[in-house]
Chain A
Amino acid sequence: DSGVTQTPKHLITATGQRVTLRCSPRSGDLSVYWYQQSLDQGLQFLIQYYNGEERAKGNILERFSAQQFPDLHSELNLSSLELGDSALYFCASSSLGSYNSPLHFGNGTRLTVT
């Protein structure tokens, strides 16, 4: 158990809808990362937050947004969902947000858009 908690585990929704994925980092970790994993593209970095502030952005669509709250939990919001958004969404946390600290991953939220 990595200590990173993601909810829900599974989500099934229709195209055009909006969903929110939630992540609680390991105790003491200030950095949260979001990754998307689909069958054909591997793990793609979406966005990183450090102590409430956005630190780095990857290939995140404009329809997606995220935030990190004062208690350090993070939410990833996906809107106007398309079939291609179906994937496993992982949250990871690290203690310093730096290269010296490995990322620890949650078990992911499997999103299915029908």
Chain B
Amino acid sequence: EDKVVQSPLSLVVHEGDTVTLNCSYEVTNFRSLLWYKQEKKAPTFLFMLTSSGIEKKSGRLSSILDKKELFSILNITATQTGDSAVYLCAVYLQGAQKLVFGQGTRLTINP
């Protein structure tokens, strides 16, 4: 069965800290890995990763994929209270044409 596992499930840090969120996967026919941020409603797209070792960066957020070890990390530096959200990792399966989500990491940034 295709599986995407995120850790930790919950994380509370202080504003200004740096956090690393983890996502590991065991799937057939991996094609790409995506990160989403979910606040109150719709998950919003952050990154799509298809190649190992190439860091994607957007402001204080960055992500990298390791296809050999089957995991990805999402880093957030200099965290702000607005970063508080659930971060979702998902893997796109070629052939099956569906996105399989992990259970999410709930990140809380305290002022």
Contacts and interface: CB of A to CB of B under 8 A. Distances in A.
Interface string B53-68: 0000000000000000
Given A42-B103, A43-B88, A99-B32, A105 B43 contact: yes
A56 interface: yes
B97 A43 contact: no
Interface of A: 2, 4, 33, 35, 42-45, 48, 55-56, 58, 90, 97-100, 102-108
Contact of A104 (B45, B96, B103, B104): B45
- The residue among A43, A48, A56, A107 with the most chain B CB atoms within 10 A of its own CB is A43
Given A42-B103, A99-B31, A102-B34, A48 B44 contact: no
Nearest to A57: B98
Given A90-B42, A99-B31, A108-B42, A56 B98 contact: yes
A106 B42 contact: yes
Interface string B85-111: 000101010101111111110000000
Nearest to A40: B103
Given A42-B104, A102-B34, A108-B42, A97 B97 contact: yes
- The residue among B32, B88, B99, B101 with the most chain A CB atoms within 10 A of its own CB is B99
A97 B97 CA distance: 7
A33 B42 contact: no
Interface residues of B, number: 24
B84 interface: no
20 contacts: A33-B98, A33-B99, A42-B104, A43-B90, A43-B101, A48-B98, A56-B97, A90-B42, A90-B43, A97-B97, A98-B97, A99-B31, A99-B92, A102-B48, A103-B34, A103-B99, A105-B36, A106-B42, A107-B42, A108-B41
B50 interface: yes
A92 to B, nearest CB: 8
A99 B100 CA distance: 12
